Amino acid sequence: MKKNNRCFLSITVALMTGGLFSACLDIPSPPKDTAKITSVNVFAKQFDKAIETPIKLNSSEEAELIAEVTPSKHKKDVQYYWYNGEEILDSGATYTVPTSYMASSFISQNFIPDRLVIEDHEGNTLETSFHVTVNNPPQLLAETTPADGDTLYGNSYTPILFTWQSFDRDENNYLNNTLEIDSVRYNVGDLQEVMQSGFTEGRHTFRIFVEDSMGDQDSSATQEFFVIDTLGLGAKWQSIL
């Protein structure tokens, strides 16, 4: 019903009932248009990769939460409001999560959004809830055995001890270790020391990789060590062959 028709009806009713006055009732109109956007979702971007649901962030790198609406052609026709519980944190199509927000569980729980509300110019709203998990990646200490540049004495039968230290700040997070020797990788599970033989005389390399149960990783730089055959067994076997 148009506004002028409502005014006419109001005046007519007042006159018919003998009212002393008449008034035009200005009833607010409902939204003029139906909502153009049918859905809204949130994904994250970190290390130049898109992270869909579930959203898991690595605490060592800044990330962005990004709003995605359907149809996307209307993405500039709405306002975006990021909430943590009932408290609004910011507005805009993206929400930056700096590493300082992931430094502790308290900050993460209070300053990382868990809800997004969008509103168009006609007052139509849509919202979505989501959960962001922050994971502390595993770490490797720099000290290893052998140390980088070490010279070891023995032959192909001499076992060499490889040791390292990997750890994770998250509780109950299983770590999987991989030892790479001369470009060949050996999955050793949760072990942090391994005995290995079969090294010929000369230069060799090794490297350590560690991955937690949420897929975050750390690795050491490539290290080298040198084997000197003190008994000359390598040269002896070469001459026999």
Cα separation of 205 and 176, whole Å? 21
- Whether residue 31 is preceded by a cis peptide bond, meaning omega within 30 degrees of 0, is no
At residue 33, the pLDDT reads 53
Instruction: State both tokens at 219.
Output: 């690795």
**H-run or E-run covering 241:** none
pLDDT in tens, the chain (241 residues): 333 444 433 333 343 444 433 444 455 555 455 578 999 999 999 999 999 999 999 999 999 999 999 999 999 999 999 999 999 999 999 999 999 999 988 999 999 999 999 999 999 999 999 999 999 999 999 999 999 999 999 999 999 999 999 999 887 678 999 999 999 999 999 999 999 999 999 999 999 999 999 999 999 999 999 999 987 655 444 433 3
Cα separation of 160 and 174, whole Å? 26
At residue 133, the pLDDT reads 95
**H-run or E-run covering 142:** none
Nearest in space to 167 (alpha carbons), one of 146, 142, 199, 202: 142
Instruction: State both tokens at 79.
Output: 């306002």
Number of neighbouring beta carbons within 10 Å of residue 216: 20
Nearest in space to 57 (alpha carbons), one of 44, 40, 70: 44
At residue 80, the pLDDT reads 98
CB 40 within 8 Å of CB 72 = no
CATH topology of domain 39-135: Immunoglobulin-like (2.60.40)
At residue 36, the pLDDT reads 87
Instruction: State both tokens at 213.
Output: 């149960």
At residue 23, the pLDDT reads 42
Residue 61: phi and psi, rounded to 5, are -135, 135
Cα separation of 51 and 56, whole Å? 7
Amino acid at 166: S
Q: Which CATH architecture has domain 139-240?
A: Sandwich (2.60)
Burial of 138 (0-12, 13-18, 19+ CB in 10 A): buried
Cα separation of 182 and 191, whole Å? 19
- As annotated, the residues of the chain forming the CATH 2.60.40.10 domain(s) are 39-135, 139-240
At residue 4, the pLDDT reads 42
At residue 173, the pLDDT reads 73
At residue 9, the pLDDT reads 37
Q: Are strands 202-212 and 175-181 parallel, antiparallel or unpaired?
A: antiparallel
At residue 22, the pLDDT reads 40
